[in-house]
Structure 1
């Protein structure tokens, strides 16, 4: 066989193989398309159609009076299926729609949107997103009336994809307490702690994968989501605002690192305000919950002396407040360390009561050595009995665990007893310290603080929360009596006498603890004041912490106590139940009417009844009234106080005027001397403008 014939045979064989391969491909195509086509179509459909969760609407968070602290607002992304609309509808409306979209979004030209929609329709694309920008509900209603879109989803092809965003109507107020939760289910505050209640149960619906995304298919098989429950907190918005403002001013003034304030009702344990502000480059923000978390757990300093004195009186009830202790010249050697008092030159010989009022470290240390040096375990056992070594079981996640040594520990030194007695070598969170002071105010009953009152669905309460008693009696009544007397003495004569008020009594204790850096105590301080008011009938307890203040005066009485007073003054001004009752001093002349131009309807009615003056109310449903004399009686006419409008306080007492104007968030300037308001700088009934300063003149 010659070479030419051999090549020809090979070519013919190769051609035959190619033909056979081509026939096989044709056969396979025909087989897949016709014989096995249904199978692959169903597989394609299964992969194109899929179930996707429909997220439930997250529940709301409310304040104690029902004001919304956090809610979910609906936003929308606008998508479009340009193949749905009929040709005449699409062609007649596409130009106008493109113009409206260009003007609304302001990011692309009219020609861009026209070409985008036409090209998608021509190529058969069933899903295009008009913009990444989200719109609100009002924008959605407006766009639903535009050309093509007005035909709706089924005939016009418009798709409004709902996206919910968390919104806080009061902005950054109580921001860290309200908290957050991210996509990874991590977070902080109430949003995180009550996520299981707030989040609800997601639904499910069919979606179809199409070019550029997916779109829902409503075929009746979808499962509707069950929306989350609402939670009602104990927070008072007005007091929260006052607490944050007072704390912010103190932090700015002292250039401190961070601060926290907690205001709590004594009997109920309900937290009415909880503010946390930390220093950043841009100022102070709520960056961490120092009131509860581990970063706020510090050595309490002198505020812990209340626990030491409680242990002392329980252990040695024979001690009298009038017993004397020689504190010397202000320094005292204990083992290999020297303890000192803040007062230069020392306090000399002072009573047990003065030891507490003047916050003498040496006085407390000597008392501890005298009564506990031979049984140091007994002192620690008292602290455990008071509940100071245990967490409170607070409703929010992240509560720090107290740190407290025991004599059996390796790091229990010869000076540990006296150090602990004045608030060192142990750590508590501000909330744990407040709960202990609150127990003293509450006649020895230690209760669990709460911040959430109930979980509800619409008007139906799903779960309610009541404060739990942690210790029915932390100490004896005799010990309580002594402690209360000393706490009141701190404000009347001691380290916090600068916050004494003529209107109500305050009981509390200052604290100034040195900070530890690199294992050594440095000249930086954590300052504090914790107490309760009114001292003779406690209604509120409060703690203020200012960490690392800078300046000349960096003690608790100078830095933290004024914040306490500002908050307490505002609370007292707005809580009429705390005010002392008014008693008539003289019997009035029945022929002349009392000169009372305006005031509280309830108070004035009570006074008229007590002193025998006839009064008439003209359809009064308001708390405040104007008074006009008529013959031998007084007429009460409504004097409404409307939110957002300047109230009429002329004729009122200064106290009533401050209460009303303060509730309207107005900054008040007082001129003149007298008992009642003669005139005011802003016209009653007008809207409150940006300048919230109002001047009232007394006469």
Structure 2
């Protein structure tokens, strides 16, 4: 019994404790509601309404001819305040609205949308997001005409929340150059580098926190955002398309790791095309990194660097292109390290050393000239500006690395090794700027890719290429360097670039790649040069990294891409075409061969060709042409009903028309113009009479092509 009493006592105590706790909760709730209610409601309202940014529309990115490369398009998220519409409007339109929503989004039934909206209305919810999918402006206009929505914002309750999304009209073309910027304000390309101009200034508006999202409150306190400025690039869309297509084809054919192409105007430094493609699977190449500018593209250039070595050599010595150097059998220890060539060239001239890209020849010449003072060679490289970045407009430009005798890594072989493009690193853009300086008569300009900041048609800021070095070397050295580069294409390692329309000057490059600190049998191939060689307009560099299918030389792998892009640039730029030979004095142009036909058509033709035509009888419809020295005379061909017309020398079309209108049935033999007709002109004739006309092309009757009857009867109705 004591145990039972103990249990009952404990239950009673527990029940009493629960009751006291419940009364305490009720008391606290009542206290909060009655005593502190106003204070807490005020706090709730403060938390419920808040200001948040309204993002500005980003500016556009344009090509050099004002075609949009990147723009912001408005999209909308559809929300709804179901409490606003009057009962009659809501009841009349809810079923139709649910059907429209179901058909448009295609994810839920009409009943789902109807019940969702009705439940929200019953619960007096002022904000319901109908679907998370974004719609475009045309969809917004269409939805605005739907039941309930058509009553407008104040009576229909529809809320279109505007969101901008970046759109590239040309798809992936120049995608990496255009770049991106994410929510953390990190990114790449022009979008990131010029974000200060493109972003604009965000506004601010009052929003109400509600279940499902934030509802804008248009109370007049909102600050409107200021849209961003536009930027106009130097990119030529047509050349950019060719550059990417040619590069992708070369990468695919050679199963290469990555590649890049840059095309630049020599005098202005404007980049007309820049393509970067990296491998993302078998035969799949995407713009994943800016190899042309960034650190991943900064590599040992190999043989393309020999131009800098030859420039230093010619500046330091009195050597001429006809002077010779003995390259032996193609392998020789120079400066403590063995240098090799693909062939043993023996004794060759300096011109041939460059044309054949002889490692032994270049290394031997540099070693002999600067062995006692290697710093002087490095000083020349600094003078050429190869040791510092270009100050390019896009973020992420690589910093060149030119080894110095003061470096701890300098060794005895460093001088001869650097001379052929190893133990130093430089980006493709920096290599191109150096070659461009030679093409530009020694003036080294800073490459640019953005030429102006605009708002609509108003130019706010204009950019021009800075002169980085007004004269990188003497005129005599420039002359010799140009001859050497032209020789590479005419007689050397890039013979496949020769063109009958224009001359190319440049240098091939093949550099062994370092992996885990060791030189491997993997290569980076390149070609860099300019065209037309006699009056340079464009410079271009092509890099193909790690080709896998046998070809490993720049002339075989990279040069074809250069050629395809150069052909396109040359074809579309008439200003660089060679002028046509003048016509010898006293030689008069020949008038075109005209025969007979409609006076109106022949007069129009003569006017188009700039030929003086003199109608002898302006009222006549049909004429025969009399070709004179500087003009033509149009002699009338009399045409009378009931008589056979004279159709000699007319085309088949004119002859059929004229004879058919006189009621004749025509049998045509041959091709060309009418040579003879079976019925003589002027002879009276009845309708339905058959007339045979013989046609002749180039003075000889020809049989029509197979499948065409030799004799055909035609009549014009």
CA shift for structure 1 position 57: 0.4
Which residue among 394, 397, 404 is the counterpart of 2:395? 397
Could you tell me which residue of structure 2 aligns to residue 186 of structure 1? 186
1:548 pairs with one of 546, 550, 571: 546
Cα offset for 1:38?
A: 3.4
Q: Counterparts of 1:177-576 in structure 2 under 5 Å?
A: 177-281=177-281, 283-316=284-317, 318-334=318-334, 336-343=336-343, 346-576=344-574
Q: Is the 8 A contact 1:324 1:349 kept in 2?
A: yes
Q: Name the CA distance, whole Å, in 1 between partners of 2:193 and 2:543.
A: 24
Conserved? CA contact 1:613–1:633, under 8 Å: no
8 Å CA contact 1:590, 1:613 repeated in 2: no
SS of structure 2 residue aligned to 1:332: strand
Q: How many positions carry a matched residue from both structures?
A: 595
Q: Which residue of 1 aligns with 2:108?
A: 108
Q: Output one character per residue of 1:198-239: Cα deviation in whole Å (capped at 9) or x when no partner.
A: 111110000011222210000100000011111110000000
Distance 2:574 2:329 in 1: 47
CA distance in 2, matches of 1:379, 1:433: 18
Change (3 A) 1:336 1:38: same
* Distance in 2 of aligned mates of 1:202 and 1:544: 41
d(CA) in 2 for partners of 1:22, 1:432:
79
Gaps of 5+ in 2: 1-12, 595-608, 614-624, 633-717
Query: For residues 454-505 of structure 1, what are the alpha-carbon distances to aligned partners after superposition, in whole Å with 9 as ceiling and x for unaligned?
Result: 1111222221111101111100111111101111111111111111111111
Give 1:37 deviation, angstroms.
Answer: 3.9
Tell me: CA distance 1:34–1:553, structure 2 relative to 1, closer, same or farther (3 Å).
Answer: closer
Query: What's the secondary structure of 2:112's corresponding residue?
Result: helix
1:630 Cα offset (Å): 9.4
Please tell me whether residue 169 in structure 1 is matched to residue 180 in structure 2.
Answer: no
For residue 592 of structure 1, report the CA deviation from its aligned partner: 3.6
Pairing 1:152–2:172 present: no
Residues 1:141 and 2:141 aligned together:
yes
Note closer, same or farther for the CA distance 1:72–1:629 as it changes in structure 2 (3 Å cut): farther
Aligned partners of 1:76 and 1:140 also within 8 Å: yes
| 1:82 aligns to 2:88 (yes or no) | no
3-state DSSP class of the match of 1:508? Answer: strand
- Hey, what's the Cα distance between the residues in 2 that align with 1:223 and 1:508? 57
**What do residues 16-46 of structure 1 show as CA deviations (whole Å, max 9, x unaligned)?**
9999999998887666545654333322211
Give me the TM-score of the superposition, normalised by structure 1: 0.81
SS, match of residue 382 in structure 2: helix
Kindly tell me: are residues 26 and 339 of structure 1, through their superposed partners in 2, closer, same or farther at Cα, counting changes over 3 Å?
closer
Mapped contact 2:180–2:190 kept (Cα < 8 A): yes
Structure whose CA Rg is larger: 2
1:66 aligns to what? 66
Aligned to 1:532, the other structure's residue is in SS state strand
Q: CA–CA distance in 2 between the matches of 1:165 and 1:25?
A: 51
Residue 68 (structure 1) shift: 0.5
Once the two structures are TM-superposed, the CA of residue 552 in structure 1 deviates from its matched residue by 2.9
Distance 1:114 1:228 in 2: 41
Cα deviation for residue 335 of structure 1 reads 5.0
1:539-688 equivalences under 5 Å are 539-587=537-585, 590=588, 592-593=590-591, 632=630
1:425-455 CA-partner distances (Å, limit 9, x unpaired)? 1010000000000000001010100000111
* Distance in 2 of aligned mates of 1:478 and 1:83: 85
Instruction: Give 1:363 deviation, angstroms.
Output: 0.6
State how far apart, in whole Å, the 2-side matches of 1:591 and 1:294 are: 61
Counterpart residue number, 1:54: 54
Task: Mark the CA change 1:169 to 1:633 in structure 2 (over 3 Å): closer, same or farther.
Answer: farther
Judged with a 3 Å threshold, the aligned counterparts in structure 2 of structure 1 residues 122 and 508 are, in CA distance, closer, same or farther, namely same
Q: 3-state DSSP class of the match of 2:502? A: coil
1:551: Cα distance to partner? 2.5
Q: Give distance in 2, aligned partners of 1:82 and 1:24.
A: 39
Structure 1 residues without counterparts, runs of 5 or longer:
1-12, 597-611, 617-627, 635-699
| Aligned match of 1:690 | none
Residue 591 of structure 1: CA displacement?
Answer: 8.1
- Secondary structure of 1:69's aligned partner: strand
Alpha-carbon separation, structure 1, partners of 2:506 and 2:626: 46
In the alignment, which residue of structure 2 is the partner of 1:99? Answer: 99
Say which SS state the counterpart of residue 152 (structure 2) adopts. helix
Relative to structure 1, the CA distance from residue 201 to residue 507 in structure 2 (aligned partners, 3 Å threshold; closer, same or farther) is same
Aligned-partner Cα distance in 2 for 1:630–1:156: 79
- How big is each residue's C-alpha offset from its partner over 1:107-155, in whole Å with a ceiling of 9 and x where there is no partner? 0011111111111111111111111111111011001100001112211
How far apart, in 2, do the equivalents of 1:289 and 1:358 lie?
Answer: 31
